[in-house]
Structure 1
Amino acid sequence: MDYKELKKDLLIVGILVSFLTPFVRSSINLALPAIAVEFDLSAVFLTWISTVYLLVNAILYIPFGRIGDIYGRKRIFQIGLIIFTISSFISAFSPSGEIFLLFRILQAIGNAMIFANLNAMISSAFPENERGRAFGLTSMGVFVGLIFGPILGGAITEIVGWRTLFYLDTVIGIIATYAITRFKYDWIDARGEKLDILGSFLLGMSIIAIIYGFSNPTSNYSLFLVIIGIIGLSLFYLAEKRATFPLINLDLFRSRSFTFGNITAFINYAAFVSVGFILTLYLQYLKGYDPLTAGLIVSVQSIMMVIVSPFAGRLSDKIAPENVSTSGMVLTTIGVALMTLINFENALYLGGISLIIFGAGIGLFYASNTKVVINAVDKKYLGVAGATLSNSRSMGQIFGMGIVTLVISALLGNAQIMPSNYPELIISLRLSLVAIAVLSAIGILTSLFAASKIFNFAVQEIKDLLQRQN
């Protein structure tokens, strides 16, 4: 097989798996009520079905990225795809909620192996002037999954039952597995090195503590857990400085593109996930739309992402990707800022304009930001770089939802949402959007700092200002 054919197959696999994960997550969310009824599950148990998936991924992304660098990115990716496909199939035969949760953990392990290595594989196969287009196409797969997940998830669950969702996941997984086995080439750029077990443990425990703290901001233990997580990260830093083969080479963070690119990805995903949640509450509770109608309205932003992301990828091959990602953050911020002005009179047209601008911003940002981060490292660390970026996005989701939860809890407490407290709900949603808009504005700055020239210019300006004052 020639190299051109190899790249084509890799793109097909990348698009399929990029579609698969958001499709699975969003479709299962629609099926949770049906699963709860069948297995007689509590509301707390249902939250675990969603949370455990995110938790396992956050813990394992970076270790599996490092393992891919050492033992072969395609090998770990392929094993992960097989695990994901098999666990999807057996999930359809779950006899209880506990067994279903176990299969979800297996799915998450497979997903972590896949996405810890996908971007690294694409970067290894495509030259720098073609990576943007490749990332643009795979990001398009993500956004298509976000569109069809809620729609098909709700329809399939209602018509033929939630178990059929996993049969569909299995079929897509089999196709992707077949495609990845068509070529034998692999990328092993850290051959002979060893996995840092201590670093993996410290990082994993720190992430668990931080995730619990941010995902339950009203808990009495949330601040304590976050502090424990920060202490754990400090110990991780000290361990990495002394490790012969560190889990993460700390020198990577000397690259402004790598560091600020990850920070901006964290911020962008915090905005992306929290805005979708806020709009869902607004449309269903305050506007009175049913879930399907609300989902179709919110999908406007995903449609814009699908349209814009391939264009953004090609554009980042022609001009500096930092400029494209910064433009994306600017549009994202404008979109969120406009949402803070939505009221009952202008909800239809201003909401539509906001979603279009917001979706275009996310679409511009995703692929170009991936290229910024990946291009900042040596090929030896592509797996770790891609996994770190995936981890930043996961942590951003948790942080964004933590902001919304904290604001809503401060104004509504633990009360059930009902017409009598709709005024407080409106205020809490608007304050949440203001907080996300401010965070997105900070993301514009971090995206600018990802470009070394701009960062150096800003630092020099600050130094000159201080000297003039002295």
Structure 2
Amino acid sequence: MPKYVSDKLNALIITTISSFLVPFMASSVIIALPAIGRHFQMDAIIIAWVSTAYILTSAALLVPLGRFSDIHGRKRIFLTGYIVFFAGSLLSAFAPTSSLFLLSRVVQGLGASAVVATAVAILTAAFPKHLRGRVLGINAAAVYFGLSVSPLLGGLLTGQLGWKSIFLVSAALCLAMSVATALVLPEYGETRKERFDLKGTIIYAATLTVFMYGLSILPSETGLWLIGGGICGGLFFVWWETRSAFPLVDFRLFRRNRVFTFSNIAALVHYSGTFSIAFLLSLYLQYAKGLTAEKAGLVLITSPVVQAVFSPIFGRLSDRIEPRLLSSAGMAVTSIGILALSFLEADTYLAYIVVSQAVIGFGFAMFASPNTNAIMSSVDRSSLGFASATVGTMRQLGMTLSMGMAMVVFALVMGKVEITPERYPAFITSVHIIFSIASAMCFAAIFASLSRGNIHNKTVREATGGDSEPRP
């Protein structure tokens, strides 16, 4: 096998395993939260910070680390991310206090952001444009497979070996991936002689952290003030970046690149409309339907399993069919599936919920891989790390917006009360409202998706002679 072919295969295997491991390691912790809370005697707010510390750290550092990898080499940042995640996992397993445990989650978030910011960039750089949709579809399938099995494996590890086993397994996997990356993964990215915008990074990270934390505590007054502060910080960040010789975020890319801009907007809206679905259905199935956590988990794996099956198919199709058409159709299918869930009642058949989830999963698969293909194919090789990180940031921000919207509706309809049988009607009303809003958001985003423009006229020309096979 020629070396450049084996290098591509190695890049595909390593980034695909990474795309499975990071969501698996992040999501499997959720099932262990009650056990972690009991061990450290945490109250409900501190328990929430176990996930929040990880999410905020990874979201705030995705774009800076993506840009840093464009300058200093993607393999270097990718490998460093795994080493940092390894250290954070060990610290989590052996942390003697809740404070050190929360610090370990920040360390894990730092490591995860480095891996996520560079994995898709490495994969995109390794393959020519006419094959990117296919390999990005495989990558997306790995993400959804990780999300599918994490509740089951996380529950098994916690139940049989204790919650620390999740972090010890994570540490072992990170160590193995670090060795594999160091030995067989080539460098897909040349170092560049430009400065890293450290001041811009500090402004960006602080602004995004304040904004996302404000969203996470809505509808409190503090949350509104923090969101306002985040918006002001964002405006200052734009002002700063437009005057920087080496900006962290080149806003000219958003102004001049229609495909990049509208594809990211579509991703943001899509995740804003879909992320809270599993959260809402988990509550609905366990409260309104009276299912156990295990049975509810089996119902909830429907959507990610469908996504894992169909993502490679639609990724491959996006190499031949315009991604904007596939993604827009996927957005429409997702909107229909969410709309179906807006009619849930206490006596709704489980089969109806499973079919609705399958429709959403199918639409998600039709949207996500082609949309990522469009984003990554719309920028030159020198900006692949930034583009990859932007995709991850849109996902994280959309997830936070989705949960913030759900919390606001719950507060307005139910108030800050426990979900008890006498409040089930108000709870179901809240679910109706949230799913209706989410469906409308996905429907509106269809038009942003359609407006992005085509990429294949350029891609076909490059794949047939204008752009040579990328070599390490």
| CA apart distance, 1:168 | 1.7
Amino acid aligned to 2:229: I
**Bigger Cα displacement from structure 2, 164-173 vs 133-142:** 164-173
Q: Aligned in 2, Cα 1:320/1:145: closer, same or farther, shift over 3 Å? A: same
**Cα deviation, residue 452, structure 1:** 5.5
User: Is this contact kept in 1: 2:82–2:178, CA < 8 A?
Assistant: yes
8 Å Cα contact 1:86-1:170 kept in structure 2: yes
Identity of aligned residues (%): 35
In structure 1, how many angstroms separate the alpha carbons of the residues matched to 2:137 and 2:46?
36
Instruction: Note if 1:219 corresponds to 2:224.
Output: no
Q: How does 1:113-124 map to 2 (within 5 A)?
A: 113-124=114-125
**Residue type at the aligned position of 2:102:** L
Q: Given the alignment, which residue of 382, 395, 406 partners 1:404?
A: 406
1:427 corresponds to which letter in structure 2? T
Q: Counterpart of 2:41 in structure 1: which amino acid?
A: D
SS in structure 2 opposite 1:451? coil
Matched with 2:184 is 183
1:241-300 CA-partner distances (Å, limit 9, x unpaired): 111111011111021111111111111212231111111111011000011111110100
Alignment partner, residue 466 of structure 1: none
After superposition, the C-alpha distances for 1:289-325 in whole angstroms (9 at most, x for unaligned) are 0111111101000110111111111111121122221
* 2:303 corresponding residue in structure 1: 301
2:466 aligned partner? none
Report the equivalent of 2:330: 328
Query: Helix, strand or coil: the match of 2:94?
Result: coil
Secondary structure at the aligned position of 1:420 is classed as helix
Structure 1 residue 174: deviation in Å?
A: 2.5
Tell me the alpha carbon deviations over residues 130-184 of structure 1, each in whole angstroms, 9 at most, x when there is no partner: 1111111111111111111101111211111011111221232223223212336
Q: State the alpha-carbon separation in 2 of the partners of residues 90 and 348 from structure 1.
A: 41
Question: Which residue of structure 2 aligns with residue 381 of structure 1?
Answer: 383
* SS of residue in 1 equivalent to 2:221: coil
Q: Which amino acid aligns with 2:249?
A: I
Aligned partners of 1:62, 1:401: CA distance in 2, in Å?
Answer: 22
1:28 alignment counterpart: 29
Once the two structures are TM-superposed, the CA of residue 395 in structure 1 deviates from its matched residue by 0.2
CA distance in 2, matches of 1:344, 1:266: 31
Residue-by-residue CA offset, 1:163-214 (whole Å, 9 max, x unaligned): 1111221232223223212336323346011111221122112112211221
Q: Tell me how far 1:383 sits from its aligned partner.
A: 0.8
Q: Which moved more, 1:429-438 or 1:266-275?
A: 266-275
Matches within 5 A, 1:69-84: 69-84=70-85
Aligned mates of 2:351, 2:68 — CA distance in 1: 49
RMSD of aligned alpha carbons: 1.5
Distance 1:71 1:439 in 2: 38
Q: Deviations over 1:53-98 (max 9, x none)?
A: 1100111001101110000011111111111123213322222221
Contact 2:324 2:454 (C-alpha < 8 Å) held by counterparts: no
Corresponding residue of 1:49 = 50
In structure 1, the gaps of 5 or more residues are: 454-470
Q: Equivalent residue for 2:269?
A: 267
CA distance in 2, matches of 1:452, 1:289: 46
Q: CA deviation at 1:360?
A: 0.8
TM-score, normalised with respect to structure 2: 0.93
Structure 2 residue identity aligned to 1:250: F
8 Å Cα contact 1:195-1:245 kept in structure 2: yes
CA distance in 1, matches of 2:284, 2:185: 50
Residue in 1 that maps onto 2:281: 279
Q: Is the Cα–Cα contact under 8 Å of residues 140 and 305 in structure 1 kept in the other structure? A: yes
1:24-423 aligned at under 5 Å gives the runs 24-183=25-184, 185-189=186-190, 191-253=192-254, 254-423=256-425
Equivalent residue, structure 1, for 2:462 = none
Are the equivalent residues in 2 in contact too, given 1:17–1:173 (CA < 8 A)?
Answer: no
3-state secondary structure, aligned to 1:221: helix
Which residue of structure 2 aligns with residue 456 of structure 1?
none
Amino acid paired to 2:210: A
Question: One-letter code of the match for 2:423?
Answer: N
Residues 428-439 of structure 1 correspond to what in structure 2 (within 5 A)?
428-439=430-441
Give a deviation string over 1:100-133, Cα, whole Å, max 9, x none: 1111111111111111111111111110011111
- 2:453 and 2:334 map into 1 onto residues whose CA distance is 19
Q: Which runs of 5+ in 2 are unaligned?
A: 456-472
More displaced 10-residue stretch of structure 1: 102-111 or 220-229: 220-229
Q: Secondary structure at the match of 1:116?
A: helix
User: 1:457 maps to which residue?
Assistant: none
Question: C-alpha separation between the residues in 1 aligned to 2:367 and 2:444?
Answer: 15
Whole-angstrom CA distance in 1 between matches of 2:358 and 2:132: 26
Whichever residue aligns with residue 207 of structure 2, its letter is S
Whether the 8 Å contact between 1:12 and 1:179 is mirrored in structure 2 is no
Contact 1:89 1:167 in 2 (8 A): yes
Displacement, 1:377?
1.1
**Residue 223 of structure 1, CA deviation:** 2.2
Superimposed CA distance per residue, residues 401-446 of structure 1 (whole angstroms, 9 cap, x where no aligned partner) = 0111100111111111101111100100110101111111122111
Cα contact 2:322–2:454 (8 A) shared by 1: no
1:307 & 1:206 partners in 2: Cα distance? Answer: 37
Taking the aligned partners of 1:244 and 1:183, their CA distance within structure 2 comes to 36
Q: What amino acid is the match of 2:144?
A: F
Q: Which amino acid aligns with 2:293?
A: P
2:194 partner amino acid: E
Letter in 1 for 2:304: S
1:156 partner amino acid: L
> Are the equivalent residues in 2 in contact too, given 1:190–1:380 (CA < 8 A)?
no
| Structure 2 counterpart of 1:463 | none
Q: Partners of 2:319 and 2:40 in 1: how far apart? A: 50
Residue identity in the other structure for 1:424: A
Distance 1:439 1:10 in 2: 36
